[in-house]
Amino acid sequence: MSRSLAAEDEPPVLDYETGAAAAPAEHAAELRLWLRLLTCSTMIEGEIRRRLRERFDVTLPRFDLMAQLDRTPDGLTLSELSQRMMVSNGNVTGLVERLVESGHLSRRKAAHDRRSHLVALTPQGRRAFRAMAVEHEAWIADFFGDLAPGEIDGLMALLGKAKASTRRAVAAPADANDREENP
């Protein structure tokens, strides 16, 4: 759970800057949007985490890692895993270690490149993941259960725009520095 300014409303509505003497409250709408986006993903993620622990005694990062491997019979390298999961390499190293330990994953040297290792689900790991995935999908469907199909599509589309916009902003930050360096 957690992360950035959270608790976007519910108790006393926050929006955290209104009324702060030194703050411009210029882009208030964008700020509120970010807080709401964060609230949604934090709520959902926290509940998934809770249910995975309760029902399957598994952590979310491990479930995520297994999900990446479920469709990859031949396995993935650690680098591929870290890219797809959007986490650091060192993080994946530890997760894989624990999942190999518990018998869910196998790990072998890659044939073509002696630096890399291929990681794959064991039959046991695959069985365990499939069982979890079925329930997981039902949970997600329930979370969004009050949205009409059109609303789901609308959200997808708008989030697609937000994603593209963020990608652009991350690639080309709007800093003072940047403006000077790249006119």
The residues of the shown chain that bind DNA, judged by CB under 7 A, are 1-3, 46, 49-50, 53, 59-62, 77-80, 86-96, 98, 110, 113-117
> If we measure between CA atoms, which residue out of 108, 50, 102, 46 comes closest to residue 75?
108
Judged by CB under 8 A, the residue of 134, 181, 182, 183 near a copy of itself is: 134
Q: Which amino acid is at 138?
A: A
Q: Which tokens hold the place of 17?
A: 């800057």
Q: How far is the CB of 170 from DNA (least distance, A)?
A: 13
> If we measure between CA atoms, which residue out of 110, 102, 60, 121 comes closest to residue 85?
60
Residue 168 found at the interface with a copy of itself (CB under 8 A): yes
Which option in DNA, a copy of itself, none does residue 122 bind, with CB closer than 5 to 8 A by kind? none
Residue 111 found at the interface with a copy of itself (CB under 8 A): no
Q: How far is the CB of 90 from a copy of itself (least distance, A)?
A: 12
DSSP letter at 73 equals T
Using the minimum distance from each CB to a copy of itself, give the nearer residue, 114 or 123: 123
Cβ distance 90 to 42 under 8 Å?
no
Stretch that binds a copy of itself, among 67-75, 96-104, 107-115, 117-125 (CB under 8 A): 67-75
Phi-psi region of 57 (alpha: psi -120 to 50; beta: other; left: phi over 0): left
Going through 34-137 in order, the beta strands assigned E by DSSP cover: 76-77, 105-109, 117-121
Using the minimum distance from each CB to a copy of itself, give the nearer residue, 114 or 146: 146
